Chain A
């Protein structure tokens, strides 16, 4: 019995990818890890709970959505545009790292992670939050609750969340226009 495949085309980190023949029922995480060698999104629980596997889906209306790739099929992303954790840092024309994104830099400065397995998910979640706050700023008094709601579902088993939390708050407060009042 052969595995049924279909051609898949999409935009990954600003580049057109495909068409590539991809099995019908393959999950997006396997496609990113095995076909594109983008290994930043990680298989943790495999049942959509831990959020180590998340990436950003850019909607046509400008909104960004965090998606769990371990439970979402690769073909769901056909003709859509996504960003993985590999896309956030600034790179030169040769692809060499120039500068980390503010959230990534803050995580390092705050010693936010230890083993790092969950980190790409936290970078993804925090990035989606910051982009949302650029469109829809929150009142200063609601910031702590907003961060908790946005990142609550991400699971970390090493450092206990506080350093991640403080790093995100620092970036939000240091970026003009994300907080009102």
Chain B
């Protein structure tokens, strides 16, 4: 009896391993790149397309990952610190040895749209090919033409240091079977042209969902909760659905301004969003910014309501306002009105209107670096107050500010502040 069970279990195990091996072989992966892309583009076509490609590469924010801070453009090497190890971006300059100089048009298309590099190597999904899959092939041609027109950089790629089993690239083939849905955001003929363009700009080019849509246990983007907000590196990438944006106080004009300048009455872009605006969305055309707003807020944007002060205990008001006048008002103004080029207004700040106080607490505890925004605006560095203020003081500050200016009635507890310190 026991021997029989063992035999059955062994057989099952062999079957599972075999099934996994077949899946991991990539045999079931579906390329969206047709054979017509095997045909190389003529040199004059490449020259024609390069300028259009520059705009598209900016819009898709290739630079932010494929250029290291202070490193040569397009040479890769930026370290992405993940919970499972360090992943490094690759050299996509046209160097023939270290970059993509020897890549054919079809190989480039497969990397961008299928997530499969030259020689069949699976790319890690930090490369947002799940979003780029929806890119128009002619746009990918233009991106290829632009990148091939750049200066080649002789900089070798550096190894990743990922823990087992995340260091096994064939496993990505299995992940791809689940993670690459068939056309998740189709065009809708009942909607305006701007909305449909916005769909493309937001979901394919801008790949906004890679951060703003939550992921499931398999780290696959959960499109049933499309753009409803997720935590990225301890910071909340907020809900940017029409409801979420309206709750933060965004209407189309302010949203466009925020994405072009990084600054709006709703606050300053910080953390990764600052890089997104700096490298990418500030370069979007006015038409694409409008399209983005039409798509995210809808052709008929929700009517905004100013945040109404929520009720908060008088002792919390007194204690919170005391902390505010002590260490915040000097830069942000006594009434939270802000000072241009010094500190943002807080009365209208989106971080106070979010359901979670996470982003607000991160800024208070750990501060923010000084920033220069597209155009001439800048903001001074904000000091962190982790060592100067107690959990209780920060809790009072957060509870009062969120109630008074964010319309959020729920108290922030000292325990939550203690947790945010870690």
Q: Which residues of A contact B (CB under 8 A)?
A: 24-25, 27, 47-49, 65, 68, 70-73, 75-76
- Among A49, A65, A72, the residue within 8 A (CB) of B326 is A72
Additional pairs, 20, CB under 8 Å, beyond known A73-B327, A73-B330: A25-B334, A27-B330, A47-B331, A47-B339, A47-B342, A47-B343, A47-B380, A48-B330, A48-B380, A65-B388, A68-B330, A71-B327, A71-B330, A71-B331, A72-B326, A72-B327, A72-B330, A73-B325, A73-B329, A76-B325
List 23 A–B pairs whose Cβ atoms lie within 8 Å, in order of A's numbering: A24-B325, A25-B325, A25-B329, A27-B330, A47-B331, A48-B330, A48-B380, A49-B380, A65-B387, A65-B388, A70-B330, A71-B327, A71-B330, A71-B331, A72-B326, A72-B327, A73-B325, A73-B326, A73-B327, A75-B322, A75-B325, A76-B326, A76-B327
Complex contacts, A47 vs chain B, CB 8 Å:
331, 339, 342-343, 380
Please give the distance in Å from A128's CB to the nearest CB on chain B. Answer: 14
CB under 8 Å from chain A, chain B span 179-234: none
Q: Which residues of B contact A (CB under 8 A)?
A: 322, 325-327, 329-331, 334, 339, 342-343, 380, 383, 387-388
Which 5 pairs between the two chains have the least Cβ-Cβ distance? Answer: A71-B330, A76-B326, A73-B326, A25-B334, A73-B325
Please give the distance in Å from B377's CB to the nearest CB on chain A. Answer: 15
Closest to B370 in A: A49
A contact patch SS = loop
Complex contacts, A25 vs chain B, CB 8 Å:
325, 329, 334
Closest to B343 in A: A47
Complex contacts, B342 vs chain A, CB 8 Å:
47
Please give the distance in Å from B276's CB to the nearest CB on chain A. Answer: 27
Complex contacts, A75 vs chain B, CB 8 Å:
322, 325-326
Complex contacts, A65 vs chain B, CB 8 Å:
387-388
Closest to A6 in B: B322
How long is the Cα–Cα vector from A93 to B60 in the complex, in angstroms? 72
Closest to A67 in B: B388
Please give the distance in Å from B333's CB to the nearest CB on chain A. Answer: 10
How long is the Cα–Cα vector from A65 to B322 in the complex, in angstroms? 20
How long is the Cα–Cα vector from A75 to B196 in the complex, in angstroms? 55
Complex contacts, A49 vs chain B, CB 8 Å:
380
How long is the Cα–Cα vector from A49 to B381 in the complex, in angstroms? 9
How long is the Cα–Cα vector from A107 to B98 in the complex, in angstroms? 54
Please give the distance in Å from B317's CB to the nearest CB on chain A. Answer: 13
How long is the Cα–Cα vector from A47 to B332 in the complex, in angstroms? 10
How long is the Cα–Cα vector from A25 to B322 in the complex, in angstroms? 9
How long is the Cα–Cα vector from A24 to B335 in the complex, in angstroms? 12
Please give the distance in Å from B370's CB to the nearest CB on chain A. Answer: 9
Complex contacts, B380 vs chain A, CB 8 Å:
47-49
Which among B329, B334, B383 has the highest number of chain A CB atoms within 10 Å?
Answer: B329
Complex contacts, A48 vs chain B, CB 8 Å:
330-331, 380, 383
Complex contacts, A73 vs chain B, CB 8 Å:
325-327, 329-330
How long is the Cα–Cα vector from A70 to B331 in the complex, in angstroms? 9
Please give the distance in Å from B385's CB to the nearest CB on chain A. Answer: 11
Please give the distance in Å from A59's CB to the nearest CB on chain B. Answer: 9
How long is the Cα–Cα vector from A73 to B327 in the complex, in angstroms? 6
Please give the distance in Å from A6's CB to the nearest CB on chain B. Answer: 9
How long is the Cα–Cα vector from A68 to B328 in the complex, in angstroms? 12
Complex contacts, B331 vs chain A, CB 8 Å:
47-48, 71
Complex contacts, B330 vs chain A, CB 8 Å:
27, 48, 68, 70-73
Closest to A48 in B: B331
Complex contacts, A68 vs chain B, CB 8 Å:
330
Complex contacts, B326 vs chain A, CB 8 Å:
72-73, 75-76
How long is the Cα–Cα vector from A27 to B387 in the complex, in angstroms? 21
Complex contacts, B383 vs chain A, CB 8 Å:
48
